[in-house]
Amino acid sequence: MELSLASSRGALLPAAAPPLAAPRPRSSPSLQIQNHIYSMPALSHKAYTPVACQASLPTKYMETPEIVDLDWENLGFALVNTDFMYMAKCGPDGNFSKGEMVPFGPIALSPSAGVLNYGQGLFEGLKAYRKTDGSVLLFRPKENAIRMINGSDRMCMPAPTVEQFVDAVKLTVLANKRWVPPTGKGSLYIRPLLIGSGAILGLAPAPEYTFIIYVSPVGNYFKEGLAPINLIIEDNFHRAAPGGTGGVKTIGNYASVLKAQRTAKEKGYSDVLYLDAVHNKYLEEVSSCNIFVVKGNTICTPALEGTILPGITRKSIIEVAESKGYKVEERPVSVDELLTADEVFCTGTAVVVSPVGSITYLGKRVEYEGNQGVGAVSQQLYTSLTSLQMGLAEDRMGWTVQLN
């Protein structure tokens, strides 16, 4: 069925239908875009011809220079509905269909879908930044593709190739380019999803998978911004255990932290820091980000041994820190080391670098000094990394990908 996009929010009309007499009002002229006609993929199970993971959108739309009129100064970390999302299917043969850009909105799933019944799903998170010249940069998208491939093996799922993944990310960002915040006002958060969409009753891998990418403009993850956050160490619940799925970005890892996180926030803490499930004394990670401990010129972070997510920002900060002359150690880090550290900070795609102002453990609160609570190392690494991400500094690492 051929469809015509009648609004930037994806209202659909048959292509042959006359235009609406009273189009939905807009908050700003910048939200007006020209109608486009394209084919909408069926969301039901169907056979697809194995081809490269590609998609297209009219060039005139992708080159629209307008930026959406939002309150960029007060942009938080919450979903903002954008224009388009990417979708591709994969059947039992393991080959993904030709991807398509469709209006952002609900998707159809069987109640018996593998992701709904058995949690067979993965997601990724990366960002796009607008440079001062108006062009857009992606940050290390290949690393996200590789992590999804590794996670899909653990979850018995097929995955797009690195090339397919990166191409799909590029197309999705270009289709929603007007939602990329102005330089220094935030970023476009990119959320790739790989889910078992096929219907399955018995416990087994799903017969069909759907690869989706949607985006949303975001500001700071923590309301504090680049200001110290206050963590509490969880000594009852654990995020992951050896032999489990803590080292892959599967959806179930995040639901399990919600109870402890909600309790912590009710008590006024920013988030929860988890300990290992064996000894209950070594640091693992915060609910959605990695942890670093600074002592003198040495920066320590828990080693990746299967229970900690291999964060891409974590990896980047390690490389940036080493380039700045710091000694970085990846090894078990005890609570005692944490409580006697000079400085502590978290890293993640959403938070980038977040300094820790205090840690509370078994009723004891330890505070870390710094410039208004922000340690010198945290500030230096945050500035170095964000300058690369936003194109404000020369990318000698070769990490950014510019979209024209």
The SS3 assignment for 74 reads helix
Q: Among all chains, which residue has been given the structure tokens 């015509």?
A: 4
Q: Which of 46, 249, 295, 364 is catalytic?
A: 249
Q: Which is nearest to 10 in space by CA: 214, 217, 218?
A: 214
The answer to whether the CB of 222 falls within 8 A of the CB of 270 is yes
User: Which runs of consecutive H residues, i.e. helices, occur in 270-375?
Assistant: 312-323, 335-339
Q: For helices 141-154 and 312-323, give the axis angle rounded to 10 degrees.
A: 130
User: Alpha carbon of 18 to those of 1, 12, 38, 70, 332: distances in Å?
Assistant: 16, 12, 17, 31, 66
Q: How many whole angstroms separate alpha carbon 335 and alpha carbon 322?
A: 24
249 is catalytic: yes
Q: How many whole angstroms separate alpha carbon 182 and alpha carbon 397?
A: 24
Where in the sequence numbering do the catalytic residues fall? Answer: 249
